[in-house]
Structure 1
Amino acid sequence: MAEAFQFELVSPERLLLSEQVIEVVVPGTEGYMTVMAHHAPLMATVKPGVVTVKTPDGKPDSYVVFGGFVDVTPDGCTLLAESAVHVTDIKADELQRRIQDAKEDFEDATTREDRAKAEDLLGQLTTLEEAIKAA
């Protein structure tokens, strides 16, 4: 059986989760990563997506994050999210508002860098919307 480690999911508003888990799947900007006990130290940026945790009893649970940072140590994992909610609490209208804002940012971008950044965020939010619909 997999060994448990401490995981914390923190947003500016509150601590969403602080418990022992056996696995965390994080949407990193370089791709999804799976964190388990005794993972090598790592800091990475997090893109909008679904974070999935598996508790020691094998039950999965999911949270939607809108960017942030993850800090992994051999003893635990902390995800500092820009914004996060339990997947069952995500509001379709809030996600649609974020998608619309990203579309407007894309249309209003005046530099290639700003346009690329807005296009990337729009793609991430659209992918997130599809993942939530499938869940």
Structure 2
Amino acid sequence: MATFELELVSPEKLLLSRPVEMVIIPAAEGDMGVLPGHVPMIVTLRGGVISVRENGQETERMFVRGGFAEVGPTRVTVLADTAVPVANLSRAEAERLIETAERDYQAAAANDTPEKREAAMNHLLAMRAMKDAAQAA
């Protein structure tokens, strides 16, 4: 089967760099499947799970809090704000982060600019996606 090069990078390190058959990324507009030969584009990521497929099966699941992906016909580069293997997520930690994010959003909704409110809401949604991913692991 045809492959393309996938690189997943977080601020701390290069997490993944190898040929894969398919990747599903949590684009801001919705989950996006990428196969070899995909049209070039740059997309914003929302909090969610990146799913990697090799040899006809899912081989990796990584939670990302957000970031960007550059998609091309032979390469996909994901620049993630934060990336954690789904198996390493903690539901209890995600619930704690949701509580903090909810407080931050309430404070932003009362006092801040629309941009800061949107950023606070995006963070809250990402933490909820983290909890969902932790439950599914």
Q: Which residue of 1 aligns with 2:64?
A: 65
3-state SS of 1:40 partner: coil
Runs of 4+ in 1 over 4 A off after TM superposition: none
Q: 1:32 to 1:124 in 2, by over 3 A?
A: same
The one-letter amino acid paired with 1:28 is: A
Q: Distance in 1 between matches of 2:75 and 2:118?
A: 34
What pairs with 1:34-73 in structure 2 (closer than 5 Å)? Answer: 34-55=33-54, 57-60=55-58, 61-73=60-72
Q: Distance in 2 between matches of 1:39 and 1:98?
A: 35
Structure 1: give runs of 5+ residues left out of the alignment: none
Q: CA RMSD in A?
A: 1.7
Query: Once the 2 structures are TM-superposed, how far is the Cα of residue 101 of structure 1 from its aligned partner?
Result: 2.7
Contact 2:45 2:69 in 1 (8 A): yes
Structure 2: give runs of 5+ residues left out of the alignment: none
| TM-score of the two chains, using structure 1 as the length reference | 0.88
The one-letter amino acid paired with 2:112 is: T
Q: How many residues align?
A: 133
Contact 2:38 2:72 in 1 (8 A): yes
3-state SS of 1:88 partner: helix
| TM-score of the two chains, using structure 2 as the length reference | 0.86
3-state SS of 1:69 partner: strand
Bigger Cα displacement from structure 2, 74-83 vs 88-97: 88-97
Q: Distance in 2 between matches of 1:7 and 1:20?
A: 6
Identical counterparts, % of pairs: 37
Q: Distance in 2 between matches of 1:31 and 1:97?
A: 26
